[in-house]
Structure 1
């Protein structure tokens, strides 16, 4: 019961003000088959955070635990795409 209340409270967090103030690239890995977090959450983050990038990954909630290789691949791609070019030495 206590765990369920904690989960419900986490899903009600209002983060729009914080997200809209961030000026850094943000990667949101959206589980394609998530039964906990609604797809609308990804759309909301993309609308509020200026530099958000939403990538859908095939899998359920707890993507990092269930499909870590796919998540790592998306993270590497995101870091590569958002890193400054290397300086010539």
Structure 2
């Protein structure tokens, strides 16, 4: 099982926050069934989950069998200004939700 990140800054941001690390553990251990579909604007097969009421993480499962690898795509914050396919978040691939 391999977890990778879209950017080095995203990896740094994720590793600096215990709440995010806790969520990443769930993403890995419950693969590939965990998460809500979207944001499709980041990847057609993306999933996301809440970290807090206002923040979230997006990823895509891959590998063989599916779910054995996880690519963390972005961190996001809830926003009424979020565009189509964003699952209601403004996503940032550098870890600045």
TM-score, normalised via structure 1 length: 0.30
Find the structure with the greater CA-based Rg. 1
Question: Relative to total residues, which structure has the larger helix share, 1 or 2?
Answer: 1
Question: Relative to total residues, which structure has the larger strand share, 1 or 2?
Answer: 2
TM-score, normalised via structure 2 length: 0.28
